Every structure is written in structure tokens, then in C-alpha cells.
Chain A
């Protein structure tokens, strides 16, 4: 009670100090919740990517995201025979919506909705993500119709799709047969459809591949006899066109390893045999890259928040130094009537802690309210930016108390060491 009364003696100064801490804790709460959300997404992605060996087309540019979209099926079949490989599944992914020619580049906070193919005939299973939990309906399988789709929770929210709906995307009609549970990671933004259908859409979205396919279809109608009548150059072009297979179109292939195999050794074997044809991504290396990126991101986010907090801490220390200076006489009286240095030190340290705690509660409260408001606005698109976690909020408040204590230690120690006679001379 005395501590609260002492805080109230200099209301404006206490108010300013509390606000200083509140601002720092507000930043920490908001940035921390953003980091929590990002970390959850990254964890999900890491779990996925380290549960398989990813094979990309040769010439994939990871910096720009450019890829040829061609992973020859023959190469994938050969990879399937490499020692230790359990299964290989080619896949295709492309944006759900056709780009708007008037706005080819759009910026959004969440991940763009993506068509993701599933080869329902493949025995491939990601080691860390064998099944997808469904909120409603089912995940497309072998028995599903070609135009059946299963939809991620964010896409369903954003588009307003429900199980049983007939929907249209990229000029084709589909039946929604399932909506996935919220995962807070990539699959929330996916639309799963059968591989051949996704391939078709991918080819149709890429003018070069489309022209290849069209020319291949035309070339198939030219007989060998007719071919011989053509010039060598034209014959070669037609032979090339004939060689094109729709099954060669894949943006990525996923490789699983046998249970008794070491995935890194399997990666080495695939690289040794096919490094001139494909790019192989090792689960361990991918995991490390993700960890590095995550650590950097967390450092930036938390670092920014910590800066704001440090300013608040100095503010408390300054307040306590001034407070103790003003209350030198009081400290002298207390020591004269029997207070130990320890009890004086404890009193002022606690006062600093409580000032910081009040600021922490205020900052956390406003931060949590801001998060709830922003998330509720983004929820309709399923693109929440923050993860509101009660444990984290409690930890933030406790942290604010702890930093207050730390800020008060030095001024409190000075008060404790004050010579009684010198303090009394102020009387």
C-alpha cells in the first residue's frame, strides 16, 4: 500500500514512466504475437519440407522463383529405383486465380491461394505429415471424380466456399468435397485437385507449354511416311514436338525414403546419378536454411521490440533515481528507526517493479486489444497476422515486472547504502 501511495505522490512522473513501459510492452506484445504466428507457419513448413526429399526441375532459380515446369517422367521413374527411395510423386502448383492483367503484381499479408495437385495413385507419404485433418467432408482420393477438390480453411473463408458447392476457377467447374482443418501453415491456402487436372490447368496457363502440347497433338497425327517427305529441319521439329509428354510437366517432385534408410544418403545417391537433370533439396539442409531464416526474422522482430523496451527501462531507472533523491530524508528516518539496508533496497526495487508491472498490464492490454481487432478484420480472409497466445501474454506481463525490478536494483542499492547521518542531515 505504501508503495502505491509513493507512486501517487508524483502522479505525472509516474504516469509518464508507466506510459514509457506501456509503449515498450505494447510493441513487444504485438511484434511477439506476429513472430509467434510466423514461427508457427514456418514450423509447419519446416515439418513438411523435412519430411521429404524435394526434387525441382534443373534450372530452377530460387532467387526469382522461376522454373521450367518440366520434370521428365522418365527421370522420376529412374529416381524411384535409386537405393533407399520408397516413392516418388510429381506435382504441380499454380495460383488459384488467374492474374489480373491490370494488376499483375498485388501485395497481400497472407499466402496467395494455390492449386496443389495430389497424385491419388501414388504411394508417396510425407514422413512428418502423413494425413490431413479435415474440418468437413473428405480429402480427394482415388475414388474422387476428376473435378472434385478439397479446400484449405483460408481459401474456403476467403471465397465463401462450402462442402457441396459447385465453384469455378480458371474457367473450369469443380465440386467442393472437403474443407481442411486450420493448420496455420501453407495448406490453409491450398486447393487440392487431382494431378492430371492440375497439370492441364498449368499447361493452359503457360503459353509455351500450351503451344508445345498443341504442336505435340498435331505432330501425333503426322504419319512416319509423311514425316519422311519433310525437310530435315522440319522433321526434327516435329520429332521434338512428338517427344513432349504431358506427364513430364511437374513443378516439383516429392521423394520419400524407406524406413531403414538415411535420407541424407538417399539425397547423395540421387545427386550422384542425376545432378545434371534435377535439383535435389536435402531435408536436413532445408531444415537448417529455414532455422537460419527464422532466427534472423525473430531477431529482427524481437530486436525492434526490445529497443522500445530498453527506453522504458531507462525511464524507470531515471524515475527511481529522482524518487530516491527526493526521499533521502525519509530513507534516513527509516534507517534511524531501525530499517535495514535490505528492507530499504527491497522497498524501492519493488516500487520499480510495480511501476513496470502497471505499464506492462496496460501495454499488454492495449496490444492484445489491437491484435484482436486486426485479426478479426483479417479473419474473413483467413489471413490473421497474429497468434494470440495466453501463455505468451502472461509471460509478457511477468517480463515487465522483472525488467522493472532490474531497472530498480541499482537505484535501490544506492538508497540502501546511504549513510544515515548524511541522509539525516537533510532533516
Chain B
């Protein structure tokens, strides 16, 4: 039985849109992610996928419910401590790549290593290794605006891997890519999962991406479907 990386029970989250209008984004979601999982969170638009991703990634806190990451209860974790856990245990891949525009590919990856507590030489070495791994050896000094969408996403993947995270959360990682590049990216993620047993949790509404995943977690109206 693989180790449990993330366990969430009864997650609830609401957002107050106005004085009279509150939106229940999550209404009692349960979830288990084991080490080595390559899982997709799927569901129609507005079902709470991104909200769930934010909570699992410690970018937001649930109103109710419990989450553990690597056995640590992080349900009520304060921001002052959450950033450390985010840096060391969680890697993020965003739909819009979200690289720092003034930094080169190498510097973007090195920055994440800095936040994860790696020393300068170590994080530089690791960053170069990862950029080579994702096939960007010749682009390390290019800025994001000098890279294609697929190349930017590969930099984002390298950035997410730099601190050897427990889990990588990918929010629509192929959302802004063409179908060919999307496939390349998903194949890359799959390889990392198979070769390094890296755990992935991918939010997607792309059926091809969802089909490429080993497990699917369905959400509807803020609940497990």
C-alpha cells in the first residue's frame, strides 16, 4: 500500500460575493492521494476544481474539514508557516505558466530553489539539471517572452520539481497550449511519474488529459460525484 500523501475529509469552502450572495465552492469533498499517483480532478466548469486545488496547495484555507499533507494536519495552518510547506513539499504548475517575466528560465527555477532553502550553488546545479531534463539545455538564459508556450510550461515543470516536492499540483497545465504541445507536456509529466514516482494531481477539463491519468476524481457542485 502506497504512502498517503494527501488526505482530505469533509472540505467545505464558501465565498461571500456580496452582502446577500454567498457561493458554496466546496460542500464536503473527500480525497486521498497516494505516493506515485497520477490523478486528475475533473468536473464541469464551476464545480470547485480550482478551489480544491488552492486549498490542497495551502493557498487558501477550508471553512470546514481536515487536510493532512505527509501526515501533517494543515487545515488551520497559518500563512507564516504555510509558505515553508508550500516551498518544500508542493510544486505548482499553472495554466498560464506564470513565470517571472524579468528572470531567465534558469533564474525562474533557481528562485524556487531559493525559497525551498537550497544553497546557491546547489540550486543552480539542480536548476540546470532539471532544465536539461525537460529539454531546455539551450534555452537556460532565455527570458519567458523569448520562449514558446510549451517551452515556458516546461520551465514551469522544472521549477515545480526543484525542491523534490511531495506532490505536484497542476491546474489546467495544457489550458493554453495547442493539442500537439499539450500531448508533449502530458507525456513529460507521465514520464516523471513513472521514472521518479513523482505524485501528480492535475485539474483538467480536457478529456484527453484526464484519460492519460491513472485515477480520476470527479467533482460536481462542490461535492464528490
Binding site for B on A (CB under 8 A): 2, 5-6, 9, 329-330, 333-341, 343, 420-421, 424, 427
Contact B98 A2 (CB under 8 A): no
Contact A341 B112 (CB under 8 A): no
Which residues of chain B are within 8 angstroms of A6 by Cβ–Cβ distance?
102
8 Å CB interface, B88-127 against A: 88, 92, 94-96, 98-103, 107, 111-112, 115-116
Across the two chains, which residue of chain B brings its CB closest to A5?
Answer: B102
CB of B140, distance to nearest CB on chain A (Å): 16
- 15 A-B pairs besides A2-B107, A337-B92, A424-B59 with CB distance below 8 A are A2-B100, A6-B102, A9-B102, A334-B100, A334-B115, A336-B98, A337-B87, A337-B159, A338-B83, A338-B86, A340-B83, A340-B115, A341-B83, A424-B54, A427-B94
Contact B59 A420 (CB under 8 A): yes
Contact B102 A336 (CB under 8 A): no
B215 sits at the interface (CB 8 A): no
Contact A341 B79 (CB under 8 A): yes
Contact B84 A340 (CB under 8 A): yes
Contact B83 A333 (CB under 8 A): no
Which residues of chain A are within 8 angstroms of B98 by Cβ–Cβ distance?
329, 333, 336, 427
Which residues of chain A are within 8 angstroms of B60 by Cβ–Cβ distance?
420-421
Which residues of chain A are within 8 angstroms of B79 by Cβ–Cβ distance?
341
Contact B59 A336 (CB under 8 A): yes
Contact B83 A421 (CB under 8 A): no
Beta-carbon contacts of B112-155 to A below 8 Å, as 1s and 0s?
10011000000000000000000000000000000000000000
CB of A414, distance to nearest CB on chain B (Å): 15
Which residues of chain A are within 8 angstroms of B107 by Cβ–Cβ distance?
2
Contact A421 B112 (CB under 8 A): no
Assembled-state Cα–Cα distance A335/B116 (Å)? 12
B80 sits at the interface (CB 8 A): yes
Residue in contact with B92 in the complex, picked from A9, A336, A340, A421, CB distance below 8 Å = A336
CB of B80, distance to nearest CB on chain A (Å): 7
Contact B54 A337 (CB under 8 A): no
B222 sits at the interface (CB 8 A): no
Kindly name the residue among A9, A343, A424, A427 whose own CB sees the greatest number of chain B CB atoms within 10 A: A424
The 6 closest A-B pairs by CB, nearest first: A338-B87, A338-B115, A5-B102, A420-B59, A421-B60, A340-B83
Which residues of chain A are within 8 angstroms of B86 by Cβ–Cβ distance?
335-338
CB of A273, distance to nearest CB on chain B (Å): 77
Assembled-state Cα–Cα distance A260/B137 (Å)? 87
Assembled-state Cα–Cα distance A381/B22 (Å)? 81
CB of B55, distance to nearest CB on chain A (Å): 9
B36 sits at the interface (CB 8 A): no
B173 sits at the interface (CB 8 A): no
Contact A341 B80 (CB under 8 A): yes
Contact A338 B112 (CB under 8 A): yes
Beta-carbon contacts of B43-66 to A below 8 Å, as 1s and 0s?
000000000001001011000000
Which residues of chain B are within 8 angstroms of A335 by Cβ–Cβ distance?
59, 83, 86
Kindly name the residue among A2, A333, A343 whose own CB sees the greatest number of chain B CB atoms within 10 A: A333
With A338-B84, A338-B88 known as contacts, the answer to whether A330 contacts B100 (CB < 8 A) is yes
Assembled-state Cα–Cα distance A427/B107 (Å)? 20
CB of B141, distance to nearest CB on chain A (Å): 13
Q: List 7 A-B contacts (CB under 8 A).
A: A2-B107, A5-B103, A9-B102, A336-B98, A338-B115, A424-B54, A427-B94
Across the two chains, which residue of chain A brings its CB closest to B89?
Answer: A338
Across the two chains, which residue of chain B brings its CB closest to A9?
Answer: B102
CB of A2, distance to nearest CB on chain B (Å): 6
Assembled-state Cα–Cα distance A6/B96 (Å)? 21
Assembled-state Cα–Cα distance A333/B100 (Å)? 8
Assembled-state Cα–Cα distance A336/B91 (Å)? 9
CB of A354, distance to nearest CB on chain B (Å): 15
CB of B166, distance to nearest CB on chain A (Å): 13
With A6-B102, A427-B94, A427-B98 known as contacts, the answer to whether A337 contacts B115 (CB < 8 A) is yes
Which residues of chain B are within 8 angstroms of A337 by Cβ–Cβ distance?
86-87, 92, 111-112, 115, 159
Across the two chains, which residue of chain A brings its CB closest to B88?
Answer: A338
Contact B59 A2 (CB under 8 A): no
Which residues of chain B are within 8 angstroms of A2 by Cβ–Cβ distance?
100, 102-103, 107
